[in-house]
Chains A and B, each alone.
Chain A
Amino acid sequence: MRILIVGGGTGGTIVANNLARRLAGEIRHGGVRITMLSASDRHMYQPGLLYVAFGQMMPDELYRKQQSLLESSIELHIDPVEEFLLDQKRVKTAGGHTHEYDILVIATGSRIVPEEIPGLAEGGETFYSEAGAVKMFKALRAFQEGTVAVVVGVPHKCPIAPIEVTFALHDYFTSRGIRDKVEIKYHYPIGRIHTIENVAKWALPEFERMGIRYETLFNLKEVDAKKQIVYSEEGTETGYDLLVAIPPHRGMEVIERQSLGTGGWIPTDRRQLKMEGHDDVYVVGDTTNLPVSKTGSAAHFEAEVIAQNIASEVKIGAPVCEYDGKVYCFIETGYDSATYAMFNYENPPELKAPNKAMHWFKTSYNKMYWTSVRGLL
């Protein structure tokens, strides 16, 4: 049985390690082989980018060698897939190699596409890449007074990031003693300030307390970087001195090029996590078209289901569990407090009052992530 995992980020790494443990005996006896193909030999802890943007973490703290995170029985090749030949059960790579499989797991994640909004790349700061986060920190440091506009593209990974970055901006300017010279204006695509109703209800009085202005039903149309104005599809505009953007996302180019899913999002069964129409292809993480948030947390819970089911298919010929839509998100509510939201397909998130202990838990999780992707947590 040849199991091929394409993508060595959060979802792919957890599937691979979890499987390697469950199938250790089968691997030892030569009945199972696990191969991972990825595009980078380094694994980034992406949530750390928010801290980089505020000078609280250095970029080199975000990375580990991908090989160091994998069980030794997993064969890793840094050689991105360029063609998925699903009817032939094989993929072709940039390095010119062909890999055949019995079971394929696609875990290629998502990418930011600021270029979809004219002027955004030139006019906006973003923390969704290492270079972007460092540049944003320098722009924040240089900022003395004026309006900071926070804008949000659709779709985007980490749906809690718009709220987190806004609270962090408030705390950052407060700590520099210039909060009274800075106007923070938050813009959000739908009719309340966060898509999760309970988060919106809780954040609204916080915004009012912190003096953060907001505009809802604001979908990014274009940015005039010279005039420093951002325009919405809904016909409104905001002038800014600093524009902080959560850019829109798409799935990876190869997924779109190979027509595996519109926008790079692969049609995926909600509970089985198999690609629609393909019994031998599982999909995990951001690249699914599932109506769940694109988070490392969703990728983690999905990965556990996929690993359990592949292992049981090997051992007893049938899957044993289903994904229930579970997501657990930390929400940083400033420099020293946090809360969390946990929900699934059936149960909406209830929010607890933010506290210091949750913030320290999140701070520890920033280190525990590496144990988590190794499959030890």
Chain B
Amino acid sequence: MSQETTIDARNTFCPGPLMELITYMKQANVGDTLELLSTDAGTASDVPEWARKVGHEMLSSENRDGVWHLRIRKAK
């Protein structure tokens, strides 16, 4: 069964949203979806760039009330 996990990386500067995502991605199984919450403006471009390079699937990216919600599926 694939799982959906939310990572609350709002208001953090270190280790920061992408580093948090990488940590959780390592713990996830192929097929799992991770939803990353971030208030860091750079996240909206950093995360898709990383996902594309590594080969994970970006499912969605939207800003709701100043919080980025990015959903990524672990593909490998």
Contacts and interface: CB of A to CB of B under 8 A. Distances in A.
Nearest to B11: A345
Contact of B14 (A219, A235, A293): A293
Q: In the complex, which of the residues A189, A233, A263, A349 has the most CB atoms of chain B within 10 Å of its own CB atom?
A: A233
A262 B27 contact: yes
B72 to A, nearest CB: 14
Interface in B1-29: 8-9, 11-16, 18-20, 22-23, 26-27
A343 B26 CA distance: 27
A234 interface: yes
A234 B53 contact: yes
B22 A343 contact: no
A292 B54 contact: no
A335 B23 CA distance: 32
Q: Interface on chain A toward B: helix, strand, loop, or mixed SS?
A: loop
A371 interface: no
Q: In the complex, which of the residues B9, B15, B46, B53 has the most CB atoms of chain A within 10 Å of its own CB atom?
A: B15
Interface residues of A, number: 29
Given A217-B49, A263-B27, A189 B12 contact: no
A263 B14 contact: no
Contacts of A349: 13-14
A190 interface: yes
Interface string B41-63: 01000100110011000000000
A217 B52 CA distance: 11
A348 B16 CA distance: 11
Contact of A190 (B11, B12, B16, B27): B16
Contact of A189 (B11, B19, B49): B19
The 5 closest A-B pairs by CB, nearest first: A291-B12, A195-B16, A293-B14, A234-B53, A155-B23
Interface of B: 8-9, 11-16, 18-20, 22-23, 26-27, 42, 46, 49-50, 53-54
Interface of A: 116, 154-155, 159, 189-191, 195-197, 217, 219, 233-235, 248, 262-263, 291-293, 325, 327, 341, 343, 345-346, 348-349
